[in-house]
């Protein structure tokens, strides 16, 4: 809808409402004027704001153009500087290439050294483990040695004690041999005495048997004499 | 019982951010409550919790129709109407419920928002200037009458909301429907109170802000014009309103002209409201209007 058409519609409404008659017309007109003023003020305010912004933008643009000019000059000198930098860059790139090769070689060496280092670390670790084991074994051996020394000392003491016991036993053995010999001598002497006594007893007993045999055969008046001889023989046996 | 209504179009992330604070504030009242997420258009939403009922609405048809549909399904005697980008302080609902006494249509909290010049969107005053009602912020630290319950957060009796016909769906999808609702309630002698002790946080135009600027400007002019033409009945104020429309037709920008033209077309169908009650001057003077 165009503004004129809209205004027509509004005025039609105004007529319907009776806004164009009597006191209402005053309200209509006053409101129209006040609202128009408000709208214009608002639009003017917006326009003024836009103008201020535009002026600010112009100033900004001018300063940007100055800056652009300065930047162009700076760009030209920077171009020269860039050319120098490019030459320096080419030289540096050559150097960089050489350094890269050197670096690659150093990296290879470093890799080899790293591997060797790792291997040595592994070996060292094994040796340290072995050393640790040996220290533990040494401690055990030391303890065993101490125990064996103690055992040896005990055995030595036992040996000394046994020697002393042996010496004692040998002395006792010699004494026993002497005692046995003495016993043998005693036995021999006793046997000899016994044999002699036995011979004596046998002889006496033989005499007593012959007395008895003769006594049995003798007359009774001889018997007291026989009895006396037998008593004498018995006394001999008793003695 | 308090029925909280949260209309949303594509507000999944905002719901995830804010629903917990709403349920916590409802729980703090010690009263039974329900929370209805009004999915206007049926876009995918994240999981909203077992205590939340999602009502899928064909559309999207806009904020007013979504809230109206939710009010019709609500079980509670009071409606807590919220935007999906609102986070409530724990005591907010309790303080609002305490302030909602007979004779009061609605209570609105302090709505802390980056959109408000004074920081609080909750208190509003109507100013008559150049043939049009203009809305200004009316900050306060005490409970005071406010021109209308700002749609992003208010508590009102369900029955009164439905008796008033809910939001005017002619104003869909957004803008001025909350002003219109508060004006109609005031016509019946009911006041809306701003309760600064109750606090909510408003992220600000989370849904509407995503719409094209021109669409928003046209809709805003359309709905303001339609609101005035349908509600004002004082002959002098109506004449002044038409005068202001003439000024807009002559000097306003294309968005204003398009909005006014659309409003005239809608008004030709909808016509003026006829409810009896307080006069325009009394309604406007009760809320700081000059």
pLDDT digits (tens, 9 = 90+) for B47-81: 777 788 999 999 788 999 999 999 999 999 999 99
Chain A interface disruption, residue of B249, B255, B268, most A CBs within 10 A: B249
Please report the pLDDT score of residue A177 as a whole number: 92
Q: How many CB pairs under 8 A join A and B?
A: 104
Dihedral sign (CA A192, A197, A203, A206) = negative
Q: Which residues of B touch A15 (CB under 8 A)?
A: none
User: Residue A128 and residue A114: Cα distance in Å, rounded?
Assistant: 20
Please report the pLDDT score of residue A110 as a whole number: 93
A87 touches chain B (CB under 8 A): no
B268 touches chain A (CB under 8 A): no
**Domain of residue B54, residue span:** 2-210
pLDDT digits (tens, 9 = 90+) for B205-258: 776 777 889 999 999 999 999 999 999 999 999 999 999 999 999 898 899 999
User: Residue B77 and residue B284: Cα distance in Å, rounded?
Assistant: 29
Q: Parallel, antiparallel, or unpaired: how do β-strands B52-57 and B33-40 relate? A: parallel
Residue B136 C-alpha, separation from nearest chain A C-alpha, in angstroms: 16
Q: Is residue B63 part of a domain?
A: yes
Question: What's the domain count of chain B?
Answer: 1
Encoding tokens for residue B162?
A: 């439905």
pLDDT digits (tens, 9 = 90+) for A189-207: 989 998 888 898 899 889 8
What is the percentage of chain B residues whose pLDDT exceeds 90? Answer: 77
Q: Is residue B46 part of a domain?
A: yes
Is residue B152 over pLDDT 60? yes
Please report the pLDDT score of residue B288 as a whole number: 46
Is residue B97 over pLDDT 80? yes
Please provide the average confidence, as pLDDT, over all residues in chain B. Answer: 92
* Domain ranges, ordered by start, for chain A: 3-107, 195-238
Residue A231 — φ and ψ, nearest 5°? -60, -40
- The residue ranking higher by pLDDT, B88 or B118, is B88
User: Residue B218 and residue A99: Cα distance in Å, rounded?
Assistant: 71
pTM of the predicted structure, to 2 decimals: 0.66
Nearest to B156 by CA among B71, B80, B64: B80
**Could you write out the three-class secondary structure of chain B?**
CEEEEEEECCCHHHHHHHHHHHHHHHHCCCCCEEEEEEEECCCCCCCCCCCEEEEEECCCCCHHHHHHHHHHHCCCCEEEEECCCEEECCCHHHHHHHHCCCCEEEEEEEEECCCCCCCECCCEEEEEECCEEEEEECCCCCCEEECCCCCCEEEEEHHHHHHCCCCCHHHCCCCCHHHHHHHHHHHCCCEEEEEEEEEEEECCCCCHHHCCHHHHHHHHHHHHHHHHHHHCCCHHHHHHHHHHHHHHHHHCCHHHHHHHHHHHHHHHHHCCCCCCCCCHHHHHHCCCCC
Contact flag B246-A43 (C-beta cutoff 8 Å):
no
Please report the pLDDT score of residue B289 as a whole number: 35
pLDDT digits (tens, 9 = 90+) for B42-51: 888 777 777 8
Residue B27 C-alpha, separation from nearest chain A C-alpha, in angstroms: 47
Q: Which of residues 36-55 of A touch B (CB under 8 A)?
A: 36-40, 43
Residue partners of B15: CB distance under 8 A and separation at least 6: B6, B8, B37, B45, B46, B48, B84
User: Residue B246 and residue A28: Cα distance in Å, rounded?
Assistant: 9
Contact flag B251-A36 (C-beta cutoff 8 Å):
yes
Dihedral sign (CA A171, A177, A180, A181) = negative
Residue B287 C-alpha, separation from nearest chain A C-alpha, in angstroms: 21
Q: Which residue has the tokens 């701003």?
A: B194
Domain CATH number, residue B18: 3.90.550.10
Please report the pLDDT score of residue A213 as a whole number: 87
Please report the pLDDT score of residue B222 as a whole number: 97
Residue A118 C-alpha, separation from nearest chain B C-alpha, in angstroms: 57
Q: Which residues of B touch A50 (CB under 8 A)?
A: none
Q: How confident is the model at residue B287 (pLDDT cuts 50, 70, 90)?
A: low
User: Residue B108 and residue B44: Cα distance in Å, rounded?
Assistant: 30
Average pLDDT over residues B148-162: 97
Minimum-distance CB partner of B261 among A9, A25, A32:
A9
Residue A44 C-alpha, separation from nearest chain B C-alpha, in angstroms: 11
- The residue ranking higher by pLDDT, A4 or B2, is B2
User: Residue B191 and residue B92: Cα distance in Å, rounded?
Assistant: 20
Average pLDDT over residues B5-10: 92
Report the residue of chain A nearest B236, measured CA to CA: A24
Q: Which of residues 14-33 of A touch B (CB under 8 A)?
A: 14, 17-19, 23-25, 27-33
Residue partners of A169: CB distance under 8 A and separation at least 6: none
Cα–Cα separations (whole angstroms), residue B273 to A53, B177, B180, B229, B230: 46, 14, 11, 9, 5
Q: Is residue B74 part of a domain?
A: yes
Q: Which string of b and e fits B111-141 if b means at least 16 CB within 10 Å?
A: bbbeebeeebbbbbbbbbbbbbbebbebbbe
Average pLDDT over residues B102-115: 93
Q: How confident is the model at residue B286 (pLDDT cuts 50, 70, 90)?
A: low
Q: Is residue B25 part of a domain?
A: yes
- CB distance B137 to B116 below 8 Å: yes
Contact flag A6-B131 (C-beta cutoff 8 Å):
no
Question: Helix A3-17 and helix B254-270: axis angle, to 10°?
Answer: 40
User: Residue B114 and residue B205: Cα distance in Å, rounded?
Assistant: 10
Minimum-distance CB partner of A36 among B236, B238, B247:
B247
**ipTM of the complex as predicted:** 0.86
Contact flag A17-B238 (C-beta cutoff 8 Å):
yes
Q: Is residue B13 part of a domain?
A: yes
Residue A11 — φ and ψ, nearest 5°? -70, -35
Question: Helix A22-217 and helix A223-238: axis angle, to 10°?
Answer: 150
For residue B182, count other CB atoms closer than 10 A to its CB.
Answer: 29
Q: What is the mean pLDDT of each run of 10 residues along chain A (239 residues)?
A: 86 93 93 94 90 93 93 92 91 92 93 94 95 94 95 95 94 92 91 89 89 84 85 84
What is the percentage of chain B residues whose pLDDT exceeds 70? Answer: 97
For the purposes of burial, counting CB atoms within 10 Å of the CB of A196, is it exposed (0-12), middle (13-18) or buried (19 or more)?
A: exposed
Q: Is residue B225 part of a domain?
A: no
Report the residue of chain B nearest A40, measured CA to CA: B251
Q: Is residue B236 part of a domain?
A: no
Q: Is residue B223 part of a domain?
A: no
Is residue B290 over pLDDT 60? no
Contact flag A30-B240 (C-beta cutoff 8 Å):
yes
- CB distance A23 to B237 below 8 Å: no
């Amino acid at each position: 809808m165009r503004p004129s058409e809209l205004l027509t519609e509004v005025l039609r409404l105004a007529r319907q409402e009776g806004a164009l008659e009597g006191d209402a017309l005053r309200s209509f007109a006053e409101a129209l004027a006040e609202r128009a003023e408000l709208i214009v003020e608002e639009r003017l305010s917006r326009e003024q704001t836009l103008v201020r912004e535009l002026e600010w933008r112009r100033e900004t643009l001018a300063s940007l153009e100055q800056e652009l000019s300065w930047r162009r000059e700076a760009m030209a000198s920077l171009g020269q500087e860039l050319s120098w930098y490019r030459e320096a860059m080419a030289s540096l790139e050559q150097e960089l290439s050489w350094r890269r090769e050197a670096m690659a070689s150093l990296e290879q060496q470093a890799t080899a050294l790293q591997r060797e280092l790792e291997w040595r670390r592994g070996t060292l670790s094994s040796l340290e483990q072995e050393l640790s084991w040996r220290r533990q074994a040494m401690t055990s051996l030391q303890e065993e040695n101490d125990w064996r020394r103690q055992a040896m000392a005990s055995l030595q003491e036992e040996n000394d004690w046994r020697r002393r016991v042996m010496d004692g036993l040998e002395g006792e053995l010699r004494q026993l041999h002497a005692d046995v010999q003495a016993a043998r001598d005693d036995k021999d002497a006793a046997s000899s005495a016994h044999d002699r006594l036995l011979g004596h007893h046998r002889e006496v007993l033989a005499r007593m048997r012959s007395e008895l045999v003769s006594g049995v055969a003798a007359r009774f008046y001889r018997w007291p004499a026989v009895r006396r001889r037998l008593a004498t023989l018995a006394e001999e046996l008793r003695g | 019982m308090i029925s909280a209504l949260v209309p949303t179009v594509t507000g999944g992330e905002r719901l995830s951010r804010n629903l917990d604070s709403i349920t916590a504030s409802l729980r703090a009242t010690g009263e039974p409550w329900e929370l209805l997420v009004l999915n206007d258009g049926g876009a995918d939403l994240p999981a909203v919790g077992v205590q939340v009922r999602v009502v899928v609405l064909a559309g999207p048809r806009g904020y007013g129709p979504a809230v109206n549909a939710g009010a019709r399904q609500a079980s509670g005697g009071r409606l807590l109407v919220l935007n999906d980008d609102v986070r409530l302080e724990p005591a907010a609902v309790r303080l609002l419920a305490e302030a909602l006494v007979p004779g009061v249509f609605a209570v609105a909290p302090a709505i802390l928002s980056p959109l408000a010049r004074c920081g609080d969107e909750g208190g509003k005053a109507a100013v008559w200037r150049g043939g049009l009602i203009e809305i200004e912020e009316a900050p306060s630290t005490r409970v005071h009458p406010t021109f209308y319950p700002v749609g992003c957060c208010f508590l009102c009796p369900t029955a009164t909301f439905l008796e008033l016909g809910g939001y005017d769906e002619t104003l869909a999808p957004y803008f001025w429907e909350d002003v219109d609702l508060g004006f109609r309630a005031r016509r019946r002698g009911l006041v809306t109170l701003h309760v600064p002790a109750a606090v909510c946080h408003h992220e600000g135009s989370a849904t509407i802000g995503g719409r094209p600027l021109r669409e928003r400007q046209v809709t805003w002019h359309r709905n303001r014009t339609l609101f005035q033409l349908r509600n004002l009945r004082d002959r002098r104020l109506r004449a002044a309103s038409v005068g202001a429309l003439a000024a807009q037709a002559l000097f306003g920008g294309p968005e204003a002209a398009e909005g006014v033209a659309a409003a005239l077309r809608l008004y030709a169908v909808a016509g003026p409201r006829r409810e009896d009650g307080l006069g325009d001057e009394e309604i406007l003077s009760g809320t700081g209007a000059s």
